[in-house]
Amino acid sequence: MSNLLGIDIIGIDLGNPTSNSPQGNVILRMDKKYPIADYFPYLIVSDNIRSLDSKTDLFLIDPFQGKDTLKRKAKRGLGIEISIAPARKLDPLLVARWLKELKSIYIFCQSNDCQFILSSGANSINEMISARSFESILNIVGITPRIYWRKISEWLYAKTKARWQYVKS
């Protein structure tokens, strides 16, 4: 499916840590480290500002929430993820505000050495979003897709590399 969408690597939520056996080009998203993490690349994801610690790789943010608390807690290299799925249901005025907030979070990430990540937030195959569609959103907001993909690749590579080194040692 990722080939159809033009995306090299996709992240999937770890629903059941014992029975899932991810295939190539898949990064597992988990709320804490499960035993399966010894065998597959993974990211620790949190959507609660209180549980945000040094082990958290990715923080899922609601663009309409204030960024003040995040400013205090965001560490260098933290991925800040915005999910597109909730924006589908918004009325046009709120979509426009959502897009504006997207840009402000991008600027926040740049100034705090965090990684801006736009994700589909898909719960099913039908909700997945192609790379070209991601680029359209980035273009509309005023973010250069080429730079976005390059930075996210570098960030992901650094994260995965760090994880694997940790696992090996």
- What is 59-94 written as a DSSP string? EEE-TTS-SHHHHHHPPTT-EEEEESGGGGGS-HHH
C-alpha closest to that of 49 among 18, 80, 11 = 80
Candidates 16, 124, 165, 169; binder of other proteins (CB under 8 A) is 124
Residue 13 phi/psi, 5° resolution?
-70, 140
Candidates 25, 69, 110, 136; binder of other proteins (CB under 8 A) is 136
- Residue with Cβ nearer other proteins (83 or 112): 83
Residues in 139-168 that interact with other proteins by CB under 8 A: 139-140
24 binds other proteins (CB under 8 A): no
Q: Which stretch binds other proteins (CB under 8 A): 26-34, 89-97, 100-108, 146-154?
A: 89-97
Distance of CA 148 to the CA centre of its chain: 12
Contact 90, 75 (CB under 8 A): no
Give the footprint of other proteins on this chain (CB under 8 A). Answer: 1, 4-5, 12, 84, 87-92, 95-96, 122-130, 132-133, 136-137, 139-140
